[in-house]
Copies of this chain bind each other. A is one copy, B any other.
Amino acid sequence: MQMDIGSKAARRFLEPFRGKACSPPPIWLMRQAGRYLPEYRETRTKAGGFLNLCYTPELAAEVTLQPIRRYGFDAAILFSDILVVPDALGQKVSFVEGEGPRLEPIRNVNDLRRLDPARTARTFAPVWETVARLRQDLPRETSLIGFCGAPWTVATYMVQGEGSSDQAEARLWAYRDREGFSRLIDILVETSISYLDNQVKAGADCLQIFDTWAGSLPDDEFDRWVVDPTRRIRESLRDLHPDVPVIGFPRGAGPAAVWYVAETGVDGIGCDTATPPYVMKEAFEDEDVVVQGNLDPLLLVAGGTQMDERVDEILSLMAGQRFIFNLGHGIVPQTPPENVARLVERVRKGT
């Protein structure tokens, strides 16, 4: 399936990637389809389980569209989860309500036999169908972002078996058996390339790689497990789809984010909440990269003039640069939907 170049050209969201600073900047929000929206909660209840929602194209497309209908964001992001990749590889994944994901942990190179890259397409098929359906149903001017978890972050869940504050099990395996752990990473790199390639073929016009736990690694390990796998994914996708930009989101990378941009070749860099706006402005000036960020999701919960002031600060600092407005992390469930409306209005009005 090929994109209609005419309609793609009309999408404001892509302009920063074509070298053009937009005023006001394009806006979308990480986890914009989510529990803070009553219509999302209703659809999720109908789906009966989180993974069911991800794998039912009609429902996944519906929740992807909900925030577009409400707020008219410049981009929709495929509703899915970074753990569909281990699920597709054959690792048992479940979501415990209120507790997060649970996986049967993979702790060493022998456990890798439980993974079967050959079977992933069967599991991914409904996700790709969701993308195709979305490209049909979205307004022509709205971009569609596909995504995957970065190999490092996905591996931390696969090895730990759940979320953790220090990703200890994955980090330990990586220290104890670098070669074995790199086989897991290789599987994730290859699977992610194929997963993203088919998202683009189905209609995604931008991709984001979420590396939520990039910040837990010392520099040499960061190079090995964050930078190198991301670079490999980026390069393969450039060969396959030279016009589709890739945004990296190495959360918590701090000053290493500049190195990450230079070495991976990502076209966009997502800045997290802790990145000071003046750093967001100055750090990437010498890099050929679009900057995306970084309002604190909790300030979006609080709302009011405090939020307005911070939004204005970010907008005025980033004015004239190739910039996309976003949060510094995902929307949290307790966000009042009216605060999102206020934010979008503020950004669109400009300063």
Contact = CB atoms under 8 A, between A and B. Distances in A.
A328 B222 CA distance: 15
Interface string A187-229: 0000000000000000000000000000111111110000000
A274 B215 contact: yes
A7 interface: no
A175 interface: yes
A279 interface: yes
Q: How many copies does the complex hold?
A: 2
Contacts of A166: 298, 329, 332
A302 B165 contact: no
A175 B274 contact: no
Given A165-B165, A254-B255, A274 B217 contact: yes
Give the dominant DSSP class at A's interface. Answer: helix
A278 B218 CA distance: 11
A255 B255 contact: yes
Nearest to A169: B298
B218 A276 contact: yes
Given A165-B165, A218-B328, A279-B255, A172 B301 contact: yes
A109 interface: no
A256 B299 CA distance: 20
